[in-house]
Chains A and B, each alone.
Chain A
Amino acid sequence: MNRMLELHNVHKYFGGLHAVNDVSFTVSRGAIKAVIGPNGAGKTTLFNLIAGVLEPTAGTILFKEQPIQGWKPHQVAALGMSRTFQNIKLFHGMTALENVMLGRHVRSRAGFLAGMLNLPGTWREERAIRSRALELLELMEIGEFADVEATSLSFGQQRAVEMARALATDPEILLLDEPAAGLNIYETAEVARLISRIRDMGITVLLVEHDMSLVMEISDEIVVLCFGEKIAEDVPETIQRDPEVIKIYLGEDEEVSG
């Protein structure tokens, strides 16, 4: 089972707008694959299709060789997919720790009745959830902010909480939508290190990112989208030299910061 994720001729229309146009590619297990393309190319839409937020107008999406188009996001998550968001979506009113603990939701069981009756079995589960969440905050080097309300943290720290929360679901594949957006070069280097570490944990990574140095440094393969269409797919060295890619994308790199 070497194919973690496969897209076959996926289309998405928003009314008359063909946001994703006949996109196919495969992500192999254990790889870091990047999706790049100019603003509005359809990258986030593609992520939303994969994660079950949107349903493709046509095409097939296989996750671990199972067709998942039409599934709800929570079902896809339970099967082992997790993600972060381009516009950070942390739970406001909850601490960093609670945010990450929520990530353990799919891997734990206590339901309404057990919760209402405060059954002893749930205490053990809660303890395990808490210690795993703390571990992940430590891994992201933000353990000291465990009890701080997540949305009051700095931008970089919020991204780290989001990543810890995503990892808490024990994903087999992690979708990262612009993990370095809004970060300075040091923080970006930190994120690159982190993504490599996540891959070393055996997690497949699918990444959308505008920061070319980051993408070129860490990805095994790159898919280039433009106006919803896949215009190239190859290893970073080749993509870097592809004249069409340079023309439509790399040439206007300055425009796409932030």
Chain B
Amino acid sequence: MEPFRRYIPVAVLIVLVVAVQVTTRLTDTSYYLTQLTMTAYYYLVVIGLCALMGYAGQISLGHAGFFAIGGYISAGLTTHNLIGLQDNALVALLHKFSLLVERQDLYGDTLLTVQPWAACIAAVLLAVLIAFILGGPILRLKGHYLAMATLGFGIIIAQIVLATQYFGEADGLSEVPPFRLFGPIEVSGSFGSRVQNYYIAWGLLTVGVVLLLNLINSRVGRALRSIHGSEEAANAMGVNTARYKLYTFVLSAAFAALAGVFLTHYNGSIGPSEAGVMKSVRYVALVAVGGMANLWGALIMGTILNFLSLRGVFGSYDDAVFGLILIVIMLFAPNGILSIKVRGLLARLSSKGEQNPGEQNA
């Protein structure tokens, strides 16, 4: 039953998700569900990045860029009115294949926009394509150089959305319509569908977690960890390390873009701050807090921190708190908060520099 043992924590997660919802209902605090829903989407970015950083050993300081590509493309396509372009051959063709929908806006005007499913797929595919093109050359870089290159990518995306009229410049895009998944199930921020959206978000996240858990425990996961362990040896044993790094980069980009799409439809809007470099730093901090190669660690710590942050507990020092967390983690708990043993911490503090190799196991 080896291939199923890994699902026990998943079952616990599902129980907790339900328990939380029931509790908020009983205590009449269901307004918490809004932040929890958003947390789940941000966390989707974090687990993808966890696979990239913790398992394939590659850092990215540009994942807010992929999130933004997902969110902005989906928002742009589902809000920009194509009614004036109805006679354009391409628009007509899209219409014919029912990739466009007609609806009324708040003022009763008719809008012709791209169908959300089509927009979602287009947005994720674009992110995947960009990750492919970008990943080829930059994943040859290592350490600081890779960090700088991905940071550069993040900055470019942030500047593009800020400067492009199509993306609403400093205002971002709003009035993003709900995303009907199937039947009556739709991603939207409307008051009545709060519970439903809480489950959509955590359901999507759970699916993501299961897919990544499977991957990590597979032949490919072993190959990824081997790259982390010794890239030269992995190569010599026949692992096409370049390809594995690229695929993981693309996969994590797809997770980030998908999160962007869903959260944008949930919020009904997206703004340039989502593409900001500080967001990318925050994702990296959350992966680090959880312990890099530890999906569950990142999930637990990530949920707590993100939730507190969204509740505004850190006030205007929000970004500073995440920066501080990153420094503290790197100094005192490179294997994540949950791996700290008090004794190990004291030893580290008293004899700085001396590494305890046993720590690696934790």
Contact = CB atoms under 8 A, between A and B. Distances in A.
Contacts of A110: 218-220
Interface stretch (A21-29, A73-81, A205-213, A233-241): A73-81
A106 B238 contact: yes
Interface stretch (B28-36, B37-45, B82-90, B226-234): B226-234
Interface stretch (A92-100, A134-142, A223-231, A248-256): A92-100
B211 interface: yes
B241 interface: yes
B311 interface: no
Interface in A83-131: 83, 85, 89-94, 98, 101-103, 105-106, 108-112, 114-118, 122-123, 125-126, 129
B236 A51 contact: yes
B218 A122 contact: yes
Given A82-B236, A115-B218, A169-B237, A93 B230 contact: no
Contacts of B361: 149, 152
B351 interface: no
A117 B239 contact: no
A102 B228 CA distance: 13
B3 to A, nearest CB: 5
A94 B229 contact: yes
A98 B234 CA distance: 12
A165 interface: yes
B88 to A, nearest CB: 37
Interface in B190-235: 211-212, 214-215, 217-223, 225-226, 228-230, 232-235
A216 interface: no
Interface in B224-275: 225-226, 228-230, 232-241, 247, 251
A21 to B, nearest CB: 25
B235 A115 contact: no
Q: What bracket does the count of chain B residues touching chain A fall in?
A: 35 or more
Interface in A134-171: 149, 151-152, 165-166, 169
B211 A102 contact: no
Contacts of A93: 225, 228-229, 293, 360
A91 B234 contact: yes
B353 interface: no
A72 interface: yes
Contact of B219 (A82, A90, A108, A151): A108
Contacts of A7: none
B9 interface: no
A83 B234 CA distance: 11
Given A102-B223, A116-B211, A78 B238 contact: yes
A101 to B, nearest CB: 6
Contacts of B233: 85, 89-91, 165
Given A53-B232, A115-B215, 10 more contacts: A73-B236, A89-B232, A89-B233, A91-B233, A93-B360, A105-B222, A106-B239, A112-B247, A116-B214, A122-B218
Interface of B: 2-3, 211-212, 214-215, 217-223, 225-226, 228-230, 232-241, 247, 251, 293, 357-358, 360-361
21 contacts: A53-B236, A72-B240, A74-B236, A90-B230, A91-B228, A91-B234, A93-B229, A102-B223, A102-B237, A103-B237, A105-B223, A106-B237, A109-B219, A110-B219, A115-B218, A116-B212, A116-B218, A117-B214, A152-B358, A165-B233, A169-B237
